[in-house]
């Protein structure tokens, strides 16, 4: 059962002094109960005398018996872990010298050997001349919060790792499917072309006039199917990306995009990006591919410009179109557009690699997609 504390005694200041003392004792009792509930202690430190005061809750937080009395400054610092000691000292001196209020987090080592995390707020108190003569502070135990944060970060890292693994599996499946289509379907189509050509040449003149048009249609259908399979293979996983690198793969895909969508594509590509790790080249290609797809679906653009450069161990990719544009601030808002899967995928790919993804757009002013990624192992 929680302790019940009656309402504070009201007293007339003109009445007996005992009423004032009773009210003050009541307030102190309530403050102690509140600090125990919130696990917050408070303290003061006088600058000139180094005199320290502690609230009862602060004693409990560091497992110090009340009978031992308030520790001096050196003994207070003995509770602070070696990793946090210098930072704690610097914070106290900074508060005294500057008069600025500040907050720090530090680790303390209890007599039992347990380690706890605490958040300390330091408030300088100055005299009429502006000189800090005392520090007042509060200390809150944040061990459970830090544990929850660490657990959350662990789960986030796990989710990120699973997402990266899913992307790797997806790329592997794409590569296998593209290879199977190319290696199995393309030779068969080439063989069919030869068969139809042989049939056409072997037909008697009387039958050739009758079946010639049908054979021509069959040849045209085979050629169209062969072109479609090549485009599908390029979309799934361009072989150029594996044997020639990122820039040639983007050029090949840009040619296909321009041909199919009747859109001019201008490229400014750094061929030195071939030095990038294979996984990073794949990631950048997929972002470019998704940007092309979004442009074809939504932008109604006449020109798409792609810039890819590697400078100072940073990779910067920009995809800019002169299409209809939109208001990025309204994405996901009531009455605004819903972010498409393409935008979400591009952002997630960039952020999973530790990069930065940004969209700049305005109605009637086109769209700019910018991705920046670190490549510390690549000296471009």
DSSP 283-295: HHHHHHHHHHHHI
Q: Is 221 left (phi over 0), alpha (psi -120 to 50) or beta?
A: alpha
Which is nearest to 276 in space by CA: 143, 153, 380? 380
Mean pLDDT of 205-233: 82
- If phi > 0 it is left, if psi is from -120 to 50 it is alpha, else beta; for residue 158 that is alpha
Residue with tokens 């000296």: 379
pLDDT in tens, 118-147: 999 999 999 989 999 999 999 999 999 999
Confidence band, pLDDT 50/70/90 cuts, at residue 13: very low
Check residue 33 and give its pLDDT. 59
Encoded tokens for 268:
């400014």
Question: pLDDT digit string (tens) for 50-61?
Answer: 999 999 889 999
From residue 210, how far is each of 192, 196, 292 by CA, in Å?
A: 20, 15, 45
Q: For residue 292, what are the contacts with CB-CB under 8 A and spacing of at least 6?
A: 253, 254, 257, 304, 319
Q: What angle do CA 56, 62, 65 make, to 5 degrees?
A: 55
Alpha helices in the chain (DSSP H): 17-38, 56-61, 73-78, 82-98, 143-180, 186-202, 205-236, 239-243, 246-261, 278-294, 341-352
Q: Where are the domains of the chain?
A: 39-141, 163-237, 240-380
Model confidence band, residue 11 (pLDDT cutoffs 50, 70, 90)? very low
pTM over 0.85: no
**What kind and span of H or E run contains 309?**
strand 303-311
Query: What integer is the mean pLDDT of 70-83?
Result: 93
**Radius of gyration of the chain, Cα coordinates, nearest whole angstrom:** 36
CA–CA–CA angle 285, 291, 294 (5° rounding)? 145
What phi and psi values does residue 40 have, to the nearest 5 degrees?
A: -125, 125
| CATH class assigned to 39-141 | alpha beta
Same fold, 39-141 and 240-380: no
Q: Which fold has domain 240-380?
A: Heat Shock Protein 90 (3.30.565)
Mean pLDDT value across the chain? 84
């Amino acid at each position: 059962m929680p302790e019940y504390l009656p309402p504070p005694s009201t007293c007339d200041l003109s009445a007996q002094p005992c009423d004032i003392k009773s009210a003050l004792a009541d307030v102190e009792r309530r403050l102690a109960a509140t600090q125990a509930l919130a696990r917050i202690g408070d303290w003061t430190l006088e600058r000139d005398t180094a005199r320290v005061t502690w609230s009862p809750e602060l004693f409990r937080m560091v497992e110090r018996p009340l009978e031992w009395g308030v520790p001096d400054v050196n003994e207070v610092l003995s509770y602070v872990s070696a990793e946090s000691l210098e930072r704690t000292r610097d914070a106290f001196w900074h508060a005294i010298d500057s008069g600025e209020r500040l907050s720090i987090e530090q680790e303390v080592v209890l007599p039992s050997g347990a380690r706890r995390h605490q958040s300390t707020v330091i408030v300088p108190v100055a005299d009429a001349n502006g000189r800090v003569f005392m520090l007042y502070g509060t200390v809150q135990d944040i061990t459970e919060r830090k544990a929850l944060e660490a657990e959350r970060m662990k789960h986030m890292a796990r989710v990120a790792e699973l997402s990266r693994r899913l992307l790797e599996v997806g790329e592997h499946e794409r590569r296998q499917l593209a290879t199977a289509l190319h290696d199995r379907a393309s030779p068969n189509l080439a063989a069919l072309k030869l068969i139809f050509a042989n049939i056409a040449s072997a037909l008697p003149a009387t039958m050739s006039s009758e079946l010639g048009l049908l054979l021509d249609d069959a040849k045209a259908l085979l050629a169209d199917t062969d072109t479609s399979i090549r485009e599908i293979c390029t979309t799934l996983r361009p072989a150029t990306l594996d044997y020639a690198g990122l820039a040639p793969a983007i050029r090949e895909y840009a040619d296909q995009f321009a041909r199919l969508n009747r859109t001019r594509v201008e490229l400014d590509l750094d061929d030195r990006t071939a030095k990038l790790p294979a996984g990073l080249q794949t990631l950048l290609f997929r972002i470019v591919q998704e940007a092309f797809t979004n442009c074809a679906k939504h932008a109604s653009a006449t020109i798409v410009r792609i810039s890819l450069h590697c400078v100072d161990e940073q990779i910067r990719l920009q995809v800019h179109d002169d299409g209809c544009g939109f208001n990025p601030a309204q994405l996901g808002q009531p009455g605004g557009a819903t972010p498409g899967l393409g935008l979400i995928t591009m952002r997630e790919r960039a952020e999973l690699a530790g990069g930065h993804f940004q969209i700049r757009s305005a109605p009637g002013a086109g769209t700019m997609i910018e991705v920046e990624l670190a490549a510390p192992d690549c000296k471009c």
